With several copies, the nearest count.
Chain A
Amino acid sequence: MAIRVQAEDFDVGAELAALTAGNTAIGGVASFVGLVRDIAPGSQTGGDAVGAMTLEHYPGMTERQLAAIEAEARARWPLDAVLIIHRHGRLLPGDRIVLAACASAHRAAAFEACWFLMDWLKTKAPFWKQEETAEGSRWVAAKDEDDAAAARWSTRTP
């Protein structure tokens, strides 16, 4: 199990290399890196410039939920290694927010599992984004499309 919730940035290359080190049965690693965007896509006014973002989280429950999501991925797909790193605190546009990675002998399993991790994480891990714009701070609203993305894994049999 590899779940980390931290304020610090992470080194994607080093993390992915460490994930597969010593296991030459791994055929590939699918990963996703989420970045802070400078435009608030879900804002009601639309397109406001975002100067910074603060990620609040629920210490303890966050790690617990991420571990549950990882366990679900491991139950659904044949994975050799899984990694989720999620940052909290104040971040600037272009900063890395999250890294999800799945290593498997099979590329389809790696891709599906990694996508699943991101979709579930988006709707289940207790993080909340507050954006700073010229008009002040505001909480990012949850997106219906994220609920839909998570829901499609409920009925899917990989």
Chain B
Amino acid sequence: MRILYFAWLRAKIGMSEEEVALPAGVATTGDLITWLASRGPNYADALANRAVVKVAVNQDYVGLDHPLAAGDEVALFPPVTGG
């Protein structure tokens, strides 16, 4: 599974993308964020306020109960500010 980070989430985590094997027990996007937040202080800091973390799976917005599959492209980012 490919995970992408954007804007200050990318800056806090310290990378723009990574490839991870879907861990046992991670079934949804919410599970994934909980698991990521346990991986270190940079992740914990970036994901501390879930209310401002937007999630996309395969380039569509999803909620925290969205089921995950091994080949998914998951993106985590703050609320958008373009236009």
Binds A, one of B4-12, B22-30, B32-40: B4-12
Alpha-carbon separation in the docked complex, A35 to B61 (Å): 27
A141 within 8 A of B: yes
Q: A56-B6, A139-B7 are in contact. Are A128 and B83 (CB under 8 A)?
A: no
> For chain A, which range describes its interface: under 10, 10 to 19, 20 to 34, or 35 or more residues?
20 to 34
Which residue of chain A lies nearest to B75 when distances are taken between CB atoms in the complex?
A58
Residues of B within 8 A of A128 (CB): 6-8, 77-78, 80-82
Please pick, from B4, B56, B59, B82, the residue contacting A121 in the complex, using a CB distance under 8 A. Answer: B82
Which residue of chain B lies nearest to A66 when distances are taken between CB atoms in the complex?
B82
| Interface contact tally, CB-CB below 8 A | 72
Residues of B within 8 A of A64 (CB): 59-60
User: Could you tell me the distance in whole angstroms from the C-beta of B23 to the nearest C-beta in chain A?
Assistant: 24
Please tell me if the beta carbons of A126 and B83 are within 8 angstroms of each other in the complex.
no
Residues of B within 8 A of A56 (CB): 6-7
A34 within 8 A of B: yes
Would you give the 0/1 interface string for A106-138, flagging 1 where the beta carbon is closer than 8 Å to chain B?
000000000000100111111111100000000
Please pick, from A55, A60, A139, A141, the residue contacting B82 in the complex, using a CB distance under 8 A. Answer: A55
Which residue of chain A lies nearest to B54 when distances are taken between CB atoms in the complex?
A126
Please provide the chain B residues from 13 to 68 with a CB less than 8 Å away from any CB of chain A in the complex: 56, 59-61
Please tell me if the beta carbons of B83 and A34 are within 8 angstroms of each other in the complex.
yes
Please tell me if the beta carbons of B83 and A122 are within 8 angstroms of each other in the complex.
yes
Residues of A within 8 A of B8 (CB): 128, 139
Which residue of chain B lies nearest to A64 when distances are taken between CB atoms in the complex?
B59
Q: Which 6 A-B pairs have the closest CB atoms?
A: A127-B82, A142-B79, A128-B7, A61-B59, A122-B83, A140-B81
Give A residues with C-beta under 8 Å from B.
Answer: 34, 55-58, 60-61, 64-65, 86, 97-98, 118, 121-130, 139-142, 146
Give B residues with C-beta under 8 Å from A.
Answer: 4, 6-8, 11, 56, 59-61, 75, 77-83
Other contacts beyond A123-B80, A125-B83, A142-B81: 9, CB < 8 A = A61-B59, A122-B82, A126-B82, A127-B83, A128-B7, A128-B8, A128-B77, A128-B80, A146-B83
